[in-house]
């Protein structure tokens, strides 16, 4: 099966999560160097986990397994929400960037909940 034919590639939430991850990588590239192995690494791992778990779940045969991986992605969203708050508190991101990231993260979360409801 070609990569373009995989079911996760057709999911709007996966595409949105991929775009969010690329944006987060760019933003965290401006964090202080001493955060590279701290907050930057944590935020990047959490953001990568979201589309990765969507893709892994979509590849599973059963709906129960798919929902399980969507729940893991939701957990990563909560983790990242906290890390974005920390970045704001430490002055690493502006108020505007903070709000934009949280709005996008909320949209991804709502899409995940909607997807999980449709596969029950």
Q: What is the tally of structural domains in the chain?
A: 1
Residue 90 lies in a domain: yes
Residue 2 lies in a domain: no
Kindly report the length of the chain. 120
Residue 6 lies in a domain: no
Name 54's Cβ contacts closer than 8 Å, sequence gap at least 6: 8, 11, 13, 14, 17, 69, 70, 73, 112
Residue 5 lies in a domain: no
Residue 3 lies in a domain: no
Residue 26 lies in a domain: yes
Q: Does the predicted model carry a pTM greater than 0.85?
A: yes
What domain range is 109 assigned to?
A: 11-118
- Give the domain CATH number at 28: 1.20.1440.60
Confidence band for 7, pLDDT divided at 50, 70 and 90: confident
- 100-112 pLDDT per residue, tens: 999 999 999 999 9
Whole-angstrom CA distances from 1 to 8, 14, 38 are 13, 19, 38
């Amino acid at each position: 099966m070609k990569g373009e034919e995989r079911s996760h590639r057709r999911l709007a939430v996966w595409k949105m999560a991929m775009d969010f991850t690329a944006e987060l990588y760019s933003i965290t590239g401006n964090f202080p160097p001493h955060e590279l192995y701290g907050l930057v690494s944590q935020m990047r791992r959490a953001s990568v986990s979201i589309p990765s778990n969507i893709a892994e779940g979509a590849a599973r045969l059963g709906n129960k397994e798919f929902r399980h991986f969507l729940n893991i992605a939701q957990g990563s969203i909560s983790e990242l929400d906290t890390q974005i708050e920390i970045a704001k508190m430490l002055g690493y991101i502006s108020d505007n960037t903070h709000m934009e990231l949280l709005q996008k993260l909320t949209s991804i979360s709502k899409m995940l909940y909607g997807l999980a409801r449709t596969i029950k």
